[in-house]
Amino acid sequence: MSVINEVKIESLIRDLIAKLGEDPSREGLQNTPKRVESSFKFLTRGYKQDIQQVLNNAIFEENYDEMVVVKDIDLFSLCEHHLLPFYGKAHVAYLPQGRIVGLSKIPRIVDVFARRLQVQERLTQQIADCLMQALQPSGVAVVIEAYHLCMAMRGVEKKDAYCTTSSMIGSFRSDERSRSEFLNLIGRK
């Protein structure tokens, strides 16, 4: 992703405000371009994060091969089609094969990929692929349930509709019992 000059971002936001029919020099809007820039930098900080630094050597050899589940991970992202937020919960599981990860790293991985311009389908897959590559477990499962403001505030205007996506890799795809256990543990069966 190319880095845009900060002054240009402020200028673009100021121009956008004017094109919307507002006066960007009005008291309530004077600092809005700076605030929007700051907000977008925060909401897209995942582009500048390195997964290896996030994992921070928190992968450990451990003789454990039962399911590890972290559920109800809050996530916030921006729809790449409308630049409106979507938010919800991620549920993540893996079946270790001699390697485990520090539990706090799983929500951090979710955040790295969520803090980018996204579609929920890709976000779900990126989280699963990242854990599969980092841990080489026998399987990874990710389910995301999210509300999309692009559906609630505009378009079909359905505020209570949410989207569920899943990615099942390895044994979660091939073994119905593992998949069912995961779905049961997250309360989705």
Helices (H), the chain: 6-19, 32-43, 51-55, 105-114, 120-135, 149-152, 171-174, 176-185
From 49, 97, 150, 163, active-site residue = 150
Active site includes 91? Answer: no
CA distance 115 to 135: 22
Annotated catalytic residue: which of 6, 62, 80, 121?
80
Of the candidates 49, 82, 97, 125, the residue annotated as catalytic is 82
CB atoms within 10 A of CB 182: 27
10, 145, 148, 181: which one is catalytic?
148
120 is catalytic: yes
Active site residue 79: yes
CB of 70 closer than 8 Å to CB of 111? no
Residue 80 annotated to the active site = yes
Cα–Cα nearest to 90, from 60, 116, 69: 69
Specify the amino acid at residue 129.
Answer: D
Confirm whether 10 is a catalytic residue.
no
148 belongs to the catalytic site:
yes
Verify whether residue 130 is a known catalytic residue. Answer: no
Catalytic annotation, pick one of 81, 97, 133, 136: 81
* Catalytic residue selected from 10, 118, 120, 145: 120
Helix axes 105-114, 120-135, angle to 10 degrees: 140
* Catalytic position from the list 79, 118, 126, 181: 79
- Which amino acids are annotated catalytic? 79-82, 120, 148, 150
